[in-house]
Structure 1
Amino acid sequence: MDALLEAALEQLARVGFDRFSIPEVAALAGANKTSVYRRWPTKADLIKDALRTAMDHAEEAAGSGSLRTDLIGLGQTLAEFLRSNAGRSVMRILLSEGDNAELRAIAISAYGDVARRTAWIAMDTALRRGDLRPTVEPSTVLFTLAGALMHRVWVEKADPGEAYVQGVVDIILNGAAVQGRSQDR
């Protein structure tokens, strides 16, 4: 990733949007601030490009032909993202600065573009293959996975390693209850 974009994500994750400074980003990246302003006239423009570039690798996470494998790949990609400057930046925007409509739109756009290209395509393919019951809402599957990983990273402050991701995916796909046993006791 471009040093300027990485510096922008690092600063956004550290100080948030209000204190984000293009001159400071330029200094972090060892660049001239006027050249940064020529390419990105506003901090919103710079942040939008940085987030989109940081999330481009997520497209490789799905498409194996197996729902379990795709969900594990998506989960591992999301876990990596959540630990990155881009992930911390997106979540900072959404959670602590979510009242700012412009910022929220930037974060959702960057995240949404990747989700539409990967996660939703994997879910649509799984539905067509018959890997998911038609009554299952694909967003519930994806948001359950994402929620478990976010909790692991930000609340528990623990690493969601491969075994954790696989365990969450297996619970999502198989449920937690013993099959054939009534749970209404």
Structure 2
Amino acid sequence: MQPDPSPSPASGRPPVGRGAKVRAAVHAATLAELVDRGYAELTVEHVAQRAGVHKTTVYRRWKDRESLITDALAEHMAMDIPVPDTGAIETDLRALARSLVQTFTSPTGQALLAAMFTDAARLPEIAAARRQVFDDRLARAEPVVARAVSRGELPRDTDPGEVLKTLAAPIYLRLLVTGDPVDEATADRAALVTLAAARAGACGRSLPPAATP
């Protein structure tokens, strides 16, 4: 098999090689293009030039722009996110919420949100990647809640997934709906509200009975 042609001289970059290095370079270039150009103007040609590879190298691994973006999104969001273990559920929840805020208020995080929730979100591949991304984040963080239950900090019936969704909900509301500022104070408030709800049994696998008047 003949080697791929070198990237165009305008890119100013040498070939990056094959295998994992190529995949990492193309993923990084895809995310950078999302930040700089947005989904609508992202092209395989621009990604290839930015990554320092020929476009045939990209097409050999990804059949089209959509599959490339889907793979880059899933890979980026499935990276080892910090899963805190501070010894207390209050500080663990705060750390998780702050990490979420930090991720999605960065330029790359903003581009990811735009790709997952605007025009690109209508594509089945992007919708599936979004589901995969959030399922993965939940699965990685659930041990934080499980440890709190085992320490007796939360009721035994606590559903880790419900706790984490309750934690994320006010952050995503601001990011995607209201446009209100999102900062560490937002994260800390979300953690406090979630902790109160979980301790009251509102995040259990079955809701507590409603109080009678």
Which category describes the TM-score, using the shorter chain as reference length? 0.7 to 0.9
Of residues 169, 184, 196, the one that matches 1:174 is 196
Query: 1 or 2 for the larger relative contact order (CA 8 Å, sep ≥6)?
Result: 1
- Please report how far the alpha carbon of residue 2 of structure 1 lies from its aligned counterpart in structure 2 after TM superposition: 4.1
| Matched-pair contact (CA < 8 Å) for 1:127–1:134 | yes
Name 2:89's counterpart in structure 1.
Answer: 67
Write out per-residue CA displacement over residues 60-90 of structure 1, whole angstroms, 9 at most, x where no aligned residue. 2323332122211211111122224245424
Deviation at 1:169, TM superposition (A): 0.8
% identical equivalent positions: 28
Matched, 1:93 2:112: no
Tell me, in whole angstroms, the C-alpha distance in 1 between the residues paired with 2:195 and 2:138.
20
Task: Tell me which residue corresponds to 1:102.
Answer: 125
Structure 2 counterpart of 1:179:
none
Alignment of 1:2-151 (within 5 A): 2-12=24-34, 14-16=37-39, 20-84=42-106, 85-86=108-109, 88-90=111-113, 92-94=115-117, 96-117=119-140, 119-151=141-173
Change (3 A) 1:103 1:87: same
Q: Work out whether residues 56 and 114 of structure 1, in 8 Å CA contact, stay in contact via their aligned partners in 2.
A: yes
**Contact preservation (8 Å) 1:61, 1:77:** no
CA RMSD in angstroms comes to: 3.2
Seen in structure 2, the aligned counterparts of structure 1 residues 88 and 96 have a Cα distance that, compared at 3 Å, is: same
Asked whether the equivalents of residues 33 and 42 of structure 2 are also in contact (C-alpha less than 8 Å), the reply is yes
CA distance in 1 between partners of 2:165 and 2:118 (Å) = 16
Q: 1:66 to 1:91 in 2, by over 3 A?
A: farther
Question: Which AA in structure 2 matches 1:153?
Answer: L
| 1:95 Cα offset (Å) | 5.5
Q: Which amino acid aligns with 2:123?
A: N
Amino acid at match of 2:138: A
Q: 1:75 to 1:40 in 2, by over 3 A?
A: same
* Cα distance in structure 2, aligned partners of 1:105 and 1:99: 10
Q: TM-score, normalised by structure 1?
A: 0.73
1:67 counterpart letter in structure 2: I
Partner SS, residue 81 of structure 2: helix
TM-score of the aligned structures, taking structure 2 as reference length: 0.65
**Match of 1:59, SS?**
coil
Structure 1: where are the runs of 5+ without partners?
Answer: 176-183
Q: Hey, which bits of structure 1, 4+ residues long, moved more than 6 A? A: none
For structure 2, list consecutive stretches of 5 or more residues without a partner in the other structure: 1-22, 198-211
**1: CA distance, partners of 2:82 / 2:34:** 26
Residue 82 of structure 2 aligns to a residue in which SS? helix
- Return the letter of the residue paired with 2:112: S
Cα distance change of structure 1 residues 171 and 86 upon mapping to structure 2, 3 Å threshold: closer
